[in-house]
Structure 1
Amino acid sequence: MRTRLFYTSIGILFFAIVKSQVGIGTSNPSNSAILELNSTNKGLLMNTVSLTSLNSASPMGSHVEGMWVYNIATAGTSPNNVIPGLYYNDGAKWVLMSINDNLPRIGDIKSSVITTDHDGWYLLNGRNITTLPTIGQTNASSLGFATTLPNSSDRILKGKNTSETLAAVGGNNSYSITQANLPNLSITGSTVQSGAHTHSYTNRGVNYWNYNAGGQNTTRTVNTEVRTTGAAGDHQHTFSVPSGGTNTAINQYPKHLVVQNFIYLGK
């Protein structure tokens, strides 16, 4: 029995030396592959480990370039936290392999028609961070949210300028238009006549005429008479132009689609 086992081992070793390719499930592995797997109902099961962070080799003794593992742990602190998935080592850190170019990172913001937390994305609704899972609390604190998440309800997201604090809330829900907000326009108009002109008016009242003859005053009463002013040169008239406004409030929201805003805090 030992002799048979010995010769079998010698045969396998000889085959491996003669043919450097190894096939599992196939007797004719590719000449370009050192190992070829072939099965219609089975797959390759990678070894599973629990990584602690991207920049730590643990549980390995050191970083080894080209090593592949499947991580089952959710651990670490942003930006070096790890989530379950297939990783390779580039000699200095672990790199998550993903065909998704838009793999979310801690602190990413997105809009969605989804209304609840999902896949590590948390609704920005002003909640206390103590209501989040442990990983969410840790990553929220690392972003500077020590007590609550920002509340994006009825708010427009804007880019930060140099004088603003990140995630600060600003702006007003209403505003008033003053004269300074109006464009510098001149509203002009003209009267029917311009330049030097006269006006007619009706004078009513009593005129007194004095005659000395006979020593008695004589009075003549004039009920009405029309008189004309002299041409007094250019002069102005005041007139008003009504706006026709009805004091209707301004709708400050442009055309929009209502969505929810989420922040990625890991899962």
Structure 2
Amino acid sequence: MKTKFFYTFTVLFLFVTHKAQVGIGTTTPSNSAVLELNSTNKGFLMNTIALTSITSPSPFGSNVEGMWVYNTATAGTPPNNVIPGLYYNDGTKWVLMSINNDLPKIGDIKSSMATIDHDGWYLLNGRNVSTLPSISQTNAATLGFSTTIPNSSDRIIKGKNTSESINATGGSNSYSVTQANLPNVNITGTTSSAGAHTHNYTNRGVNYWNYNAGSINTTRTIDTEVRTTGASGDHSHTISVASGGTNTAIAQYPKHLVVQYFIYLGK
């Protein structure tokens, strides 16, 4: 047995020494490859391990640049969590390999024609977090949703400003139009002919003086008397202009397409 092992080791040593390429399934591996696999009905099985976080080298003792593994675990806390898939190590962390540059991250929001939860995306309908799967409950809590997830039903989503907090709701279901909301225009009008009227006044320009010049009465006109209307002639006019309105509520929605909103909480 020892003799056979010695001969086998010697042949392998000479093969490796004189031919740097190794072929499995082929006797003529490429000169540009250290190792070439060749099979029509078999594949290459990557070693499978359970990662704990993209920032932790575990179960390895340290990060090794160029290390490839297939991760089987769903673990860690966003944004450093890991999901099943092929990872490589860049010397400082694990990086998920994917041809998709738009892999969803925990907390991503999307609109969709779908109406039910799917692939880790959960409908924003204000439900209790306790009704979600355990991993989604954990991820929701990291986003600040410990009791319920937001409700986007019949709401327009807007970006936050410095005075608002995530998941805050605002706006109003009713609006009042005040004078300040009206355009700065002058409305003019005239009274109808039915508004015609007269004023009575006392003419103080003529006084009668009675005296006798013999047997004849006579009068005297005083031209310097002031003539004005009496105080009872003071009055005001009112005018009304019909708006033609019917008290119809303002429709505040712009043109829109109805969709559903989802949040990604992992799967």
TM-score range, shorter chain: 0.7 to 0.9
Is 1:77 paired with 2:77? yes
Amino acid at match of 1:119: D
Aligned equivalent of 1:249:
249
Give runs of aligned pairs for residues 180-219 of structure 1, distance below 5 A: 180-188=180-188
Q: What is the CA deviation profile of residues 211-254 of structure 1, one whole-angstrom value per residue up to 9, with x for unaligned ones?
A: xxxxxxxxxxxxxxxxxxxxxxxxx9865443322322222212
Aligned length: 229
1:45 is matched with 45
Residue 153, structure 1, aligned to residue 159, structure 2 = no
Deviations along 1:104-143, one digit per CA (max 9) or x if unpaired, are: 1111111111111111111111111111111111111111
Counterparts of 1:68 and 1:188, CA distance in 2: 83
- RMSD in angstroms over aligned alpha carbons? 2.5
1:178 offset after TM fit, Å? 1.6
Q: In structure 2, what is the equivalent of residue 204 of structure 1? A: none
Partners in 1 of 2:64 and 2:197 — Cα distance?
A: 109
SS at match of 2:246: coil
CA distance in 2 between partners of 1:58 and 1:172 (Å): 52
Cα deviations across residues 3-22 of structure 1 (Å, max 9, x unaligned)?
Answer: 45543432232122211111
Consecutive unaligned residues of structure 1, counting only runs of 5 or more, are 193-198, 202-235
Cα distance in structure 2, aligned partners of 1:257 and 1:200: 62
Residue 87 of structure 1 aligns with an amino acid whose one-letter code is Y
Report the counterpart of residue 16 of structure 1 in structure 2.
Answer: 16
Query: Which deviations, in whole Å up to 9, do the C-alpha atoms of 1:179-222 show, x marking residues without a partner?
Result: 22222222345789xxxxxx898xxxxxxxxxxxxxxxxxxxxx
Does 2:259 match 1:259? yes
Aligned mates of 1:168, 1:51 — CA distance in 2: 36
Cα distance between partner residues in 2 of 1:132 and 1:184? 55
Q: Which amino acid aligns with 1:160?
A: K
Where does residue 173 of structure 2 map in the other structure?
173
How far apart, CA to CA, are the structure 2 residues paired with 1:25 and 1:183?
85
Give the secondary structure class of the aligned counterpart of 2:86.
strand
Runs of at least 4 residues of structure 1 off by over 6 A? none
Contact 2:175–2:250 (CA<8 Å) still a contact in 1? Answer: no
CA drift of 1:174 comes to 2.1
Which amino acid is the alignment partner of residue 142 of structure 1? T
Unaligned runs of 5+ in 2: 199-235
TM-score by length of 2: 0.78
Per-residue CA deviation, residues 147-206 of structure 1 (Å, 9 max, x unaligned), is: 1111110011101000011111111122122222222222345789xxxxxx898xxxxx
Read off the aligned partner of 2:85 and give its amino acid letter. Answer: G
Q: Write the distance in 2 (CA, Å) between the matches of 1:157 and 1:262.
A: 12
Q: Which amino acid aligns with 2:140?
A: A
Task: Quickly say closer, same or farther: Cα 1:245–1:22, change in 2 above 3 A.
Answer: same
Q: Distance in 1 between matches of 2:40 and 2:174?
A: 66
